[in-house]
Structures are given as C-alpha cells and as structure tokens.
Amino acid sequence: MREYLNGNEAVAHAVRLARAEVVAAYPITPQSTIVEEIAAQIARGEMEAEYIRVESEHAALAACFGAAVSGSRVFTATSSQGLAYMFEMLHYVSGARIPMVMAVANRGLAAPWTIWADHQDSVSCRDTGWIQLYVETAQEALDTCLQAYKIAEDPRVLTPVMLCLDGYVLSHTEEILDIPSQEDVDRFLPPYRPQVLVDTRRPVVFGVGAGPDIYPSFKKAQQEAMERAKEVIKRVDEEFYAFFGRRYGGLVEEYRCHDAEVVLVTLGAITGTAREVVDSLRREGAKVGVLRLRALRPFPVEDLRESVKSARVVAVLDRNCSFGYEGVVCTEVKAALFGLKQPPSVIGFVAGLGGQDIRKENIEGIFRSCFNSDV
C-alpha cells in the first residue's frame, strides 16, 4: 500500500506492523506525533497493545523494561531533553540485555532551547550500549524500525536499538511511502519469544548486582554482542531486501565512493543533499563520493576502511560537537583509519546545529576546501 506520510507516521506504522505489545512514552517535540499516532491506532482498534501513559521519559524506559522482562515486545520514542532524562535507564536496559526499539527524533539540546534537528542528543548517548541506526528517509525509518526488532531480538545480539531520524527534516516531512502488508511483516518478523522472562515457576532476577569478580564478564559479553551485531545488521538488511525489495547497505551506504578522491562521511537526512552535490561535482569531473554511516554503534570500522580505499581526503560532516575537541563522528573516523598504510587525511566539519540548514553550497564548499587542502 502506498501512502503519503511523514517519518513519524512511518515509525508509528512500523510499530503497529511489528505488533509491539506495550508502548510507554512521554511527549516531546519533534517525537510526539509518533506516539500520538500509535495512541490513535490503538484507539481506532487497528493496533492491539497496552499504552502506558507514563509521567516521564525515565519512567517510559523503566515501564518498557518491566514489560519486556515480562515477555512483551515494547516500544518507546523520545527526543533531546527526554533522551537525556533517560540516561540512567539507557545503560540499564542495554546492560540487562533487553532487546527493545526506541525511536529518537533527533533534536538539539538546551541551553539555549531549541526544538530543531541536530544529532547531539543521540550522539551523546553513544556509549550507553545501544545499537544506533541513523536513517535518511521516512521510508528507511519504517523499514529500519522493522529491521531493528529483528536485530535487537537476535539471540546473538540481545541489545536495544535506537532508531535515529532527524527532527522535522524526517519526522515531519512527507514522502510517498510503501507500507508493507501485515502478512509479509509477520513472515519477516516472528513474534518475540524471550528465552528468559518473568515466570513464577522459574524465578530469576533481572538487573542483578555483580561484584568485581563477575561484573567485567557481563560487560565483555555486551561488547561481543555488539561485534556480532555488525553481521546481524547486514544480514537482516539483506533479508529485508529479499522480502520487500529495499535495502540500505547494512552498516554503511556508499554513493560513488569506488574511485572518489574525496569522500564525505555523513549521518542521517543530510545525505540526500550531499548526493546531489556529488552528482553535480562529478559532472565537473571532480572525483567525489559520500559515505553514509547507517550504524554509529556498532561502529563499522571494516566497511568504512573499505569504502574510502581510493580517497585522499575524508571529510566528516558532524551535526554534533564534543566540546573541547571536535565532531564525534570525525574522531571516530580518524580512529578507524589510524594504522592504515597510506591513510587519507581526515577533515572535520561541524554544521547544522540546532536545525540550521545545511545547503548545497555548504557541502560544495566542504568538497572544494578538501580539494584545495594540500594535506
């Protein structure tokens, strides 16, 4: 079925199609319309789920945690301040290996107050043990939401997934979407069947305490699961393609990188603009490409290295800043390329904070400055 929908509506449809059974959420712009739409779907009888109207984002994640350990597929969504408010629970959920999906409609953080897009909110949560997938279109938001449940619930992964979509640019911008049928989704995504859950016949403890002798082994297991998630993310993207005819490159999506001298690394929606700039510069004969990181965690080191093989310069566009250093993705890219025989030079650009438009001219300027740099 084809419909004209925005990114938030796309996510809401995906959550219904995934048959999430418990949704707990707290409103915040620009996320709110996701959970409003889910509430409406439940009210109209199109979706069968418990909707817990919690009093905070911290509680939203705690309620999702409680429902998940009781055997339900769960969902929540937030943005910015709400995500920051969840910080404690983010670590808790990933540490307890709860496979849930949360949409983050990316928005800058106060102060100063803003409701507009950048990636500071989710990037600040890079080390919370969640898989982070950044999407480029509303269609990808829908598709990735379905993929995310399959990735998170894979027994080799059992790690929550943060589905990041740029506020407004994706959350509130309409596209023509292909909405898969319930039958197809049911075949792609079987019901959630956790191996351990709250069961009075088999009492276990969730969120156990651990002494210094055993704590590291829990953390090592988390790290190993993240490493395994790389393969699972790729495989699930391919499976999705087999079912629905769409795929997104797994961990990274390349555009004209094969012979590019300058590759621009991006996250999220800005990639579309970057592609157009690549096309126009290519017409002038400039060998440029764009590499979109779909996954920030796990970080696609191997794929990144492969994609920038021909590059002399790698430019990184960050819609976030690690104050006192540089854009976070830039640091990550540098670290990933460190140790290569002839590594490209890496130049970071921080742009588009708090919803400031990044225009074609800006991206063109980035490419030109990279060609002009004699590094």
β-pair type (22-25, 313-318): unpaired
Residues 6+ apart with CB under 8 A from 232: 151, 154, 156, 157
Closest distance between other proteins and the C-beta of residue 19, in Å? Answer: 11
239 binds other proteins (CB under 8 A): no
CB of 59 or CB of 162, closer to other proteins: 59
**C-beta neighbour count of 119 within 10 angstroms:** 29
Give the nearest distance from C-beta 298 to other proteins in angstroms.
25
Q: How far is the CB of 220 from other proteins (least distance, A)?
A: 14
Q: Does 190 bind other proteins (CB under 8 A)?
A: no
Q: Does 22 bind other proteins (CB under 8 A)?
A: yes
List the one residue from 71, 272, 343, 354 that touches other proteins (CB under 8 A): 71
According to DSSP, residue 116 is labeled: S
58 binds other proteins (CB under 8 A): yes
Which of 10-18, 59-67, 142-150, 333-341 is the region at the interface with other proteins (rule: CB under 8 A)? Answer: 59-67
Q: How far is CA 12 from CA 8, 9, 115, 171, 354, in A?
A: 6, 5, 21, 11, 25
Out of 12, 14, 63, 170, name the contact with other proteins by CB under 8 A.
63
Reading the block at residue 311, the tokens are: 């590059």
Q: Which of 40, 110, 176, 210 touches other proteins by CB under 8 A?
A: 210
Looking at 65-73, 118-126, 144-152, 236-244, which segment touches other proteins (CB under 8 A)? Answer: 65-73
Amino acid at 44: R
Closest CA to 362 of 284, 293, 274, 291: 274
Q: Does 195 bind other proteins (CB under 8 A)?
A: no
50 binds other proteins per the rule CB under 8 A: yes
Half-sphere exposure of residue 367, counting CA atoms within 13 Å on the CB side? 28
CB of 218 to other proteins, least distance (A): 8
Interface of this chain with other proteins, residues 89 to 128, rule: CB under 8 A: 89, 92
Q: Hunting for tokens 């590594």 — which residue is that?
A: 343
Size of the site for other proteins (CB under 8 A): 41
Nearest to 155 by CA among 192, 186, 117: 192
Choice between 19 and 334, CB closer to other proteins: 19
Within 8 A by CB and 6+ apart from 204, the residues are: 196, 198
| DSSP at 112 | S
Instruction: Write out the residues near other proteins by the rule CB under 8 A.
Output: 21-22, 24, 50, 52-56, 58-60, 62-72, 74, 88-89, 92, 198-200, 202-211, 214
